[in-house]
Structure 1
Amino acid sequence: MENALIIGASGGIGAALSVALSERGVAVTGLSRSGDGLDVTDEASVSAALGQLSGPFDMIFVATGGLEINGQRPEKSLKDVTAQNMRDQFALNCIGPSLVLKHAPKLLPRDRRCIFVALSARVGSIGDNGFGGWYAYRTAKAALNQMIHTGAIELARSHKHSICVALHPGTVETPLTAKYAGHHPTVTPQQAATNLLGVLDGLTPDDTGLFYDWAGKRVPW
């Protein structure tokens, strides 16, 4: 791999990925809201930012996302569901990565292995949901998973060597996740980046369109 584009490069996982890839000798281009004014929920912003890049990038990694948006905590009950939180969650966790995916094909090489990956979450799995709650976040991530799966089908037609996947990074140590980690094991952003890159190293185009966790195990849709 020679070149990588990290969307959300100022966040915990995005920054750690940038460092880990650079240490591998990969030329990393990073974009973020804080550093570049990129608003992934606004197509004009995405189009302008990606339109300035020439590529090709062997990897495009979308590391954006959020659990609490505008101070809204995950819902414990149906009575807590609001239209505004649903809109906010979809905008950041589904629409944002989807817009990047829309503009990604022209930045990916057609003649060799290339990767498009977006951070998802195990709680976005319908098949793995045994606890309920967290309605807006779960639903937005489930929608993102469908976008990745569907986009992978189309991308494979023009980019025969492409790998387009969703990844669950595990519970990563940040001030936000500290509220919700509970008894779940956590990892540092640096370890999460190492784990995720290790998973991607082992994937082939036959694995495109799938959903994996940090250990390389498939997560049910």
Structure 2
Amino acid sequence: MTSHLQQVNAALVVGASGGIGLEMVHQLLEQPTIHQIYATYNRSNDALQAISDSRLTQLPLDLTNEAQIATVVQTIQATTPALHLVVNCAGVLHTDAMQPEKSLRHLNPQQLSDYFLVNSIGPALLAKHLPPLLKQGDRAVFATLSAKLGSIGDNQLGGWYGYRASKAALNQLMRTTAIEYKRTCPNAIVVTLHPGTTDTQLSRPFQRNVPPDKLFTPQRTVRQLLLVIDQLQNSDSGEFFSWDGNRLPW
């Protein structure tokens, strides 16, 4: 069976300055059939900037800025007629000034807003501007990294209000996008993906209780995600998948 990844000519990785996004760029560059890869970053990353490959174009992007999203899409359109793969790896769990809320008493409007801006609204705005690059007759995949913590049905422990809610909203926004894309971009498959707990800056403060066999390297995470992406069918559009290919409850 021919790999769908071997049919990808052009790809976009959003959030390539993060651990998973950077590794996604590396592994896509290992695919000789991919002729062009666009990688966006919101902060300087020496490892990303050190990549020297004529197929890679790096573009600055703040996913909360719609004008910048539009500019990135227009820049890609100027050189590439269509994208066959878009992977959005951007997301926020914590910063120096923001930590996941353990209780209702820790909630504040600004932090909730920050979670939703990056984890929910940004990807929806990206979906808004991508259709001109996804309308081609070939198969295309638009995959956004979500989190199992965004599953309402799987929530047994509580806490982490803003992160959970923003990822749940992301899942709904992408499922609704998938329904519209069936009319406007009928060959585009839209999914959200749970990457598993990956040893990156995002998860590092929260790894203490993670069993060693459940803490993945970025290399393993990306291999697993690309395998899931490669096996997607048109009927999978609008679904929420774990790193092992299993569907997750909403």
TM-score, normalised to structure 2, is 0.85
| Secondary structure at 1:53 match in 2 | helix
| Secondary structure at 2:38 match in 1 | strand
The residue type paired with residue 21 of structure 2 is: G
Measured against aligned partners, the alpha-carbon deviations of 1:91-117 in whole angstroms (never above 9, x if no partner) come to 111111111111111111430110001
Match of 1:14 among 21, 37, 40: 21
1:69-84 pair list within 5 angstroms: 69-84=95-110
Counterpart in 1 of 2:182? 156
Cα distance, 1:159 vs. partner?
2.0
1:52 and 2:52 are equivalent in the alignment: no
Counterpart in 2 of 1:202? 231
Where do 5+ consecutive residues of structure 1 fail to align?
none
| Secondary structure at 1:75 match in 2 | coil
Measured against aligned partners, the alpha-carbon deviations of 1:23-49 in whole angstroms (never above 9, x if no partner) come to 012231111112543111011111112
1:114-153 pair list within 5 angstroms: 114-153=140-179
Cα 1:68–1:92 shift into 2, 3 Å: same
The residue type paired with residue 76 of structure 1 is: K
Contact 1:123 1:138 in 2 (8 A): yes
The residue type paired with residue 203 of structure 2 is: T
Q: Considering only aligned residues, what root-mean-square deviation do their CA atoms show, in Å?
A: 1.2
Counterpart in 1 of 2:48? none
**Identity over the aligned pairs, expressed in percent?**
40
Measured against aligned partners, the alpha-carbon deviations of 1:111-170 in whole angstroms (never above 9, x if no partner) come to 011000111000000011011000000000000000100000000112222110000000
Counterpart in 2 of 1:214? 243
Residue correspondences, number: 221
Contact 2:135 2:186 in 1 (8 A): no
Mapped to 1, the partners of 2:104 and 2:88 lie a distance apart of: 30
The residue type paired with residue 198 of structure 1 is: L
Moved over 6 A (4+): none
Counterpart in 2 of 1:41? 64
| Secondary structure at 1:128 match in 2 | coil
Counterpart in 1 of 2:197? 171
Of stretches 142-151 and 169-178 in structure 1, the one that deviates more from structure 2 is: 169-178
Mapped to 2, the partners of 1:8 and 1:116 lie a distance apart of: 14
The residue type paired with residue 86 of structure 2 is: I
Where do 5+ consecutive residues of structure 2 fail to align?
1-7, 45-58
| Secondary structure at 1:163 match in 2 | strand
Contact 1:69 1:88 in 2 (8 A): no
Match of 1:2 among 9, 31, 37: 9
1:92 and 2:118 are equivalent in the alignment: yes
TM-score, normalised to structure 1, is 0.96
Cα 1:95–1:69 shift into 2, 3 Å: farther
Cα distance, 1:70 vs. partner?
4.8
Cα 1:42–1:70 shift into 2, 3 Å: farther
Mapped to 1, the partners of 2:235 and 2:194 lie a distance apart of: 19
The residue type paired with residue 236 of structure 2 is: D
1:24 and 2:25 are equivalent in the alignment: no
| Secondary structure at 2:76 match in 1 | coil
The residue type paired with residue 34 of structure 1 is: R
